[in-house]
Chains A and B, each alone.
Chain A
Amino acid sequence: MVRYIIRRVLWGALMLLVVSALTFVIFYLLPSGDPAQIRAGRYASPARIAQVRHQLGLDRPVYYQFWLYMKGLFLHFDLGTSFKTNLPVSDEIIRRLPVTFSLAIGSVIIWMAIGIPIGVISAIRSRSWLDRSTMTGSLVAISAPVYWLGLIALFLFSKDLGMFKLFGGSGSYVPFSEDPAGWFSSLVLPWFVLAAAFAAFYARMVRGNLIETMSEDYIRTARAKGLSERRVIFRHGLRAALTPVVTMAGLDIGALLGGAVLTETVFNIPGVGRLAYDSIVGSDLPMIQGTVLFGAFFIISANLIVDILYAFLDPRVRY
């Protein structure tokens, strides 16, 4: 087990290296604004631009820039400084992490609380009108794009431009430590919008898993023991059906901690996803690198945690 974890951590580090190399390559291959030009301002002279380019180290060859970046990263955990704000990238990201955490965790709770019960009920009442209508509804929720759903939610329920002025609208985010009620109000709509597709997806997954599990031989055994149907479903059926759901949830949470770009952009929430979006628009390479690396780090960690967790959830799994 320990050897397995060590091996996985080393692989994870290698993955991060590959990810940042790819980010570098993509940044220089794809057409984007010239960071030096953007930094120097619209009416800067060519000399000024060249000076900025030299300051940022952009006149060095790409591989040398990458080497410097990696050296800083591995020797000092230094993600560099933003081209745009001149602030350390890691400070900027860490400052925004609580925001993204707030969004992700609330959303996870909502989609689990909605998705799992719906999935269970649909599985138990499979093929009933209730099952059919919730499964059709879930297809709609999965298909609805977040930016569309987000705008609908704002037009319906936000305090500034909604028909029913219930919750904070776009850009209303305040930290929990400053104003808990305001924090909550500002996140209700993003939570639900972000959770919608996940809830639908999880409902379908739970339903499918549970239906499959309920046809297993060991469910027949559980019934033959004279257990109540309730116990057969919730203790024997759900225990097996939820194991893959836990795996999935771990991966999804990992991905969300890297920033929910669309949701954060639509609701103008100052999280990591929004930061990533802004840095791409502003050709801010160190910031892009930082956000991508953080995202990759969360996904890789989530994968590892889920795999370790799996050994506890399913005794047949051994490493």
Chain B
Amino acid sequence: MSSLLEIRDLHVHFSTRDGVVRAVEGARLSVDRGRTLGIVGESGSGKSVTALTVMGLTRLPNASISGEIEFDGVDLVTLPDAQMRSVRGRRIAMIFQDPLSSLHPLFKVGWQIVEAIQAHENVSKKAARERAIEALREVGIPSPEKRIDSYPHELSGGMRQRVMIAMALVLKPDVLIADEPTTALDVTVQAQILDLIRHLKDEYQTAVVMITHDLGVIAELADEVAVMYAGRVMERTSRHELFTVPELPYTWGLMRSIPRLDAPRPGRLDSIAGLPPSLIHLPPGCPFHPRCPYVMDVCLQDEPELEQSEGDHLVACHLPIAERRQIGRDLQDRQN
């Protein structure tokens, strides 16, 4: 029994003047109705490219895409453009990081929502407008019948992101992909937006893919978590398991670099040494080995496969399972 959205062995490469950018390498992910998959990773880890590929928005002349994206029994990778377009926006919707730049500055927000409805359904402008007002009301915008005639710049950041969410959810899609939806917002607004997404997910049993570099967002919202690094899924498990027994040295690094309010103030914030690798010239072996404090000889030669550890916990690492779990558990005990 496969999930609503299942990504198998996805590769996305872009040929550029400097060489081939291997943005996504063999990603395996899945998400089901009413569930939230959190994808966490640094910039350039391939999380956004994965999401855009699901939307069919990486079909560029210089891109080569292979693998499978099975959505409700259909492979989106090979789906013709015209059919992909009817999936995009209607069955899989997406919201983005910066709602100010993501909304068209010269059109009223209502017009933009109406357009989204009319792109997929043969309804009158008036009916579409009614639905747009309803959608704005649902995402908690006060007096939506007035706000519908606002331009994006007349709204606050949080309101704009609510408009984006209303626009994405107005057609009741099966999947909502949220690409860092709170990164550009104030902290208090962030919490409101996450609450809203969770509420709407529960209400409509939408499958949510939450892309973030913020483990706090993951802790708040995700049911399952995938940790991506250099275009690969390196660790995949439930949220609970990830925050009790993280098994990947990279995940440990992410956990350590979260500042804590309750701990004694350290001299400086921990960070992962070094920089993410170039996706054109990847190091041989494990892509994380140049930055890994636990690096072994084998890591320089062989790339670890994403393999089952305990239960549903999948990890790509050469460290022995027992040792990994010990270190991860100790780390989380100390942090909690």
Name A's B-contacting residues (CB within 8 A). Answer: 216-218, 220-228, 231, 236, 239-240, 243, 313-316
Contacts and interface: CB of A to CB of B under 8 A. Distances in A.
Contact of B115 (A225, A239, A240, A313): A225
Given A223-B57, A225-B115, A240-B105, 16 more contacts: A217-B102, A221-B96, A221-B103, A221-B164, A224-B55, A225-B119, A226-B87, A226-B116, A227-B85, A227-B115, A239-B106, A243-B106, A313-B106, A314-B105, A314-B106, A316-B151
Given A225-B115, A225-B116, A218 B153 contact: no
Nearest to A237: B104
A226 B102 contact: no
Contacts of B119: 225-227, 231
Nearest to A228: B85
Interface in B57-79: 57
Nearest to A240: B106
A236 B102 contact: no
A225 B84 CA distance: 11
A217 B48 CA distance: 13
Provide the main secondary structure of the chain B interface.
mixed
A220 B105 contact: no
Provide the main secondary structure of the chain A interface.
helix
B49 to A, nearest CB: 13
Interface string B83-99: 00111111001101010
A224 B106 contact: no
Contacts of A220: 57, 96, 102
Contacts of B101: 216-218
17 contacts: A217-B98, A218-B105, A220-B96, A221-B102, A221-B104, A224-B55, A225-B167, A226-B86, A226-B89, A226-B119, A226-B120, A227-B115, A228-B85, A239-B104, A240-B104, A314-B106, A315-B105
Contacts of A221: 96, 102-104, 164
Interface in B257-277: none
Given A223-B88, A224-B57, A218 B167 contact: no
B184 to A, nearest CB: 11
Contacts of B106: 239-240, 243, 313-315
Interface string B135-178: 00000000000000001010000000000100100000000000
Contact of A226 (B85, B105, B107, B164): B85
Contacts of A223: 57, 88
Given A224-B94, A226-B119, A315 B151 contact: yes
A224 B93 contact: yes
A145 B266 CA distance: 70
Contacts of A243: 106
Contacts of A315: 105-106, 151, 153
A315 to B, nearest CB: 5
Nearest to B82: A228
B104 A226 contact: no
Contacts of A222: 104
A236 B101 CA distance: 13
A222 B90 CA distance: 13
B33 to A, nearest CB: 21
B86 A218 contact: no
A239 B107 CA distance: 10
B104 A218 contact: yes
Contacts of B96: 217, 220-221, 224
B72 to A, nearest CB: 16
Contacts of B90: 226
Nearest 10 interchain pairs by C-beta: A226-B89, A217-B101, A226-B88, A225-B89, A218-B104, A225-B116, A217-B102, A315-B151, A224-B94, A221-B102
Contacts of B94: 224
Contacts of A236: 104
Interface string B174-216: 0000000000000000000000000000000000000000000
B157 to A, nearest CB: 14
A181 B333 CA distance: 92
A224 to B, nearest CB: 5
Contacts of B93: 224
A223 B87 CA distance: 12
Given A217-B96, A223-B57, A223-B88, A316 B105 contact: yes
B135 to A, nearest CB: 13
